[in-house]
Structure 1
Amino acid sequence: MSFVEYSDLIQDGDVAIVYLGHESMMPVKVQQGGQTQTRYGVIRHSTDLIGHRYGSKVTCSKGGWVYVLHPTPELWTVTLPHRTQILYTTDIATITMMLELKPGSVVCESGTGSGSLSHAILRSIAPTGHLHTVEFHQQRAEKVAEEFKEHRVDQLVTVRNQDVCKEGFGVSGVADAVFLDIPSPWEAVRHAKTAMKKQGGRVCSFSPCIEQVQRTCEALADQGFEEISTLEVLLRVHDVRTVTMPLPDFGPDPSAPTQPEKTPPNQQASVALKTTTPPREIPGHTGYLTFATKPRT
């Protein structure tokens, strides 16, 4: 099992995702002789998981059943242990697209946090790219490094425990893209420029407050970045419902040989239509995404 490659069979040491029902999932470290307790009963790793195919339906000891899924960055995002606030798939998809990530890309990231975005980046740049990620907090840096090894992507990532605003990313002239998710990203813009290749590249900064965005944009402009833009990704769900509308009555047809009787209003023909209703409010602000391009020199 690897978060960037697909395996057919569940093996000892894998991290599998147990699907318990709608919006209810949990990660499980598969171990020979291990057991996992669920509300449907016990899952015995040796007999119920190891050697079975991912996607299998597993019957628990109480007779209930679950599905065992192959881990992906999206599933990890909704099941990972939170050590910090994390980015979710809606923002992650925009970030990976706007940073133009592809296999072979070299990316610098700060801060690593719980590793939600990191796993999506690793899948985008595998198998030949590399992620240099910086985390200020020592225990979080050590824990995410353990998870990368457990998820078998550690060959694609280097974790550094340092202050990116003072010490930078630890590399120079190698990055195709840089991502910043720190309280004062404007203090790290010059280090982002140093880490990036001379032949251009993209940078993204995530900030929850517009005042942070303003200072970051000023710093990007001072460092010579171009195409500076800020956007906010909001999820807007439309409710689909069926409405019945009466067919219009245009009166009698003068060309008809006989005039039919007019249909009473309560018997008027109607048609059923599908329509969508937009929400009156759109809660869910996560943060502002500021993108910029390093000019080619």
Structure 2
Amino acid sequence: MSFRNYKDKIDEGDTVILYLSNNLYAIDVRPEIKSKKGDLVENVFQTPFGALKVRNLIGTEYGSKVELSKGWGHVLQPTPELWSLTLPHRTQIIYTPDISMILLQLDLVPGSVVIEAGTGSGSLTHALIRRVRPHGHVFTFDFHEHRANVARKEFEEHGLSDFVTAQHRDVLEEGFGENLKGKADAVFLDLPSPWIGVPHVLDALKAKGGRFCSFSPCIEQVQRTCLALERQGFQELTTMEVLQSELKVTRRTVPVRDLSFLKHKSSESPVEEKPSSETSYVVGAWPTSTPGHTGYLTVATLPPVFARKKTQETEQNNQCADIDPSGNGSAMAVEETG
């Protein structure tokens, strides 16, 4: 399978990315497909540059040039980044700029166990699998049964089923299940009400602690999630938004005025002088438009169990110190010292 390992040549059953003049297409390499009537017909992929007989891709080297009926293109091996740009959308997906920050903030390494809810179109899931394999595992949940089943089938077709378990489950109501209590190194939530799932996150993270991240489009969701995290003992709460801005490198020609005449006292005012030459520079220019809002990433750390107990004891001691044993509190102390 093309997603499982890097390889030199295309085999039947692989998924390849066809690159055509800044356009990307995902193709399943199968010589024949079923027509609308249910009959097996030759698999011919139509593009703006003509037809591609998919059968001819078998045995072709990845990265090579392929002929179309009206032009040519290149076949590339799929990566999570390329898949995010070509996958069939079942929901709104998370793109590479946010995905890269999520992977960084969750502190994932090969061998990590990570929980994701919800699965959606599987864009982030593919990136999580690549980060934790070969000894780690991804447990991904979606409350929509059809989406969960389609994602499970997709992971099997891509040869990734050994590294991921896709389940249909409403984690906000039911949690992540008894088998995942105290098993996860990190949890990611992409849900409408992530604050409801925070107690379940606490149960799922290991005794040594772990990392949490949620993706929310609205700041009100972020506020409620942060309050829930604080109540459950999470620390180092941070909220950020990843906005990608690209500098455009161009060559600009600048007119240059010859000011040598200023050396002579009798020179006239240079106001009417015209540029006598031009100089070309390579410059980087900011984009004329600012990228719009994507979503807020809220990340937090759950400390180890022993550290959580110390924090709770400290807070309780501070609260007791502020309360007078007689029950009158600080008001009575003020009266006595008066």
TM-score normalised by length of structure 1: 0.90
How many residues align structurally? Answer: 290
Q: For residues 1-297 of structure 1, what are the structure 2 equivalents within 5 Å? A: 1-22=1-22, 24-33=23-32, 34-39=42-47, 40-46=49-55, 48-60=56-68, 62-170=69-177, 171-241=180-250, 242-244=252-254, 246=256, 249=259, 251-252=262-263, 265-266=273-274, 268=276, 271-279=279-287, 281-297=289-305
Partner of 1:257: none
The residue identity in structure 2 corresponding to 1:67 is H
Asked whether the equivalents of residues 253 and 278 of structure 2 are also in contact (C-alpha less than 8 Å), the reply is no
Q: Decide whether aligned partners of structure 1 residues 13 and 267 sit closer, same or farther in structure 2, where only a CA change above 3 A counts.
A: closer
Distance 2:238 2:212 in 1: 11
Which ranges of structure 2 fall in alignment gaps of 5 or more residues? 33-41, 306-338
Distance 2:258 2:211 in 1: 56
**Structure 1, 34-43 or 112-121: larger mean CA deviation:** 34-43
Asked whether the equivalents of residues 206 and 289 of structure 1 are also in contact (C-alpha less than 8 Å), the reply is yes
Asked whether the equivalents of residues 257 and 274 of structure 2 are also in contact (C-alpha less than 8 Å), the reply is no
Percent of pairs with identical residues = 48
Distance 2:20 2:152 in 1: 28
Q: Rg bigger for which structure?
A: 2
Distance 1:281 1:271 in 2: 28
Distance apart, 1:4 and its partner CA? 4.1
Distance 2:11 2:248 in 1: 42
Q: Decide whether aligned partners of structure 1 residues 109 and 267 sit closer, same or farther in structure 2, where only a CA change above 3 A counts.
A: closer
Distance 2:256 2:300 in 1: 53
SS across alignment from 1:206:
strand
Distance 2:242 2:17 in 1: 27
Distance 2:137 2:255 in 1: 58
Flag the structure with higher helix content.
2
SS across alignment from 1:213:
helix
Distance apart, 1:237 and its partner CA? 2.5
Asked whether the equivalents of residues 185 and 205 of structure 1 are also in contact (C-alpha less than 8 Å), the reply is yes
Asked whether the equivalents of residues 190 and 216 of structure 2 are also in contact (C-alpha less than 8 Å), the reply is yes
Distance 2:176 2:21 in 1: 41
Which ranges of structure 1 fall in alignment gaps of 5 or more residues? 254-261
Q: Decide whether aligned partners of structure 1 residues 245 and 15 sit closer, same or farther in structure 2, where only a CA change above 3 A counts.
A: same
Distance apart, 1:79 and its partner CA? 0.5
Q: Decide whether aligned partners of structure 1 residues 227 and 265 sit closer, same or farther in structure 2, where only a CA change above 3 A counts.
A: same
The residue identity in structure 2 corresponding to 1:17 is I
Distance apart, 1:21 and its partner CA? 2.0
Distance 2:113 2:200 in 1: 15
Distance apart, 1:37 and its partner CA? 2.5
Larger RCO: Structure 1 or Structure 2 (Cα < 8 Å, ≥ 6 residues apart)? 1
